[in-house]
Amino acid sequence: MTDNVVKLAPVEFGADFRFDSDALLETMKGKTYERLVVIGQFEDGSSVIEGNCNSGEVLFLMEIAKHHLVFGDD
């Protein structure tokens, strides 16, 4: 069973490093997305989820993102 275990080794930029959220969103403008989900968390711990798709599509996109985080972009 342990032969199926994948070690998660996320890329880190340094302790508490964050990209500027406005700059990040600016780079996404002007593109045509079939499905788009933006998930954020504010400093007070509250969160926001905005998107142009239904909840099933959101879950599908989240699973794709999880796969990329674990296995890379291959």
pTM (predicted TM-score)? 0.66
- Predicted local confidence at residue 18, as pLDDT: 82
Residues in the chain, pLDDT under 70 = 1-2, 6, 8-15, 74
The residue written with tokens 């045509």 in the block is 32
Quote the CA–CA distance of 7 and 51 in Å, as a whole number. 31
Whole-angstrom distance, CA of residue 24 vs CA of residue 56: 25
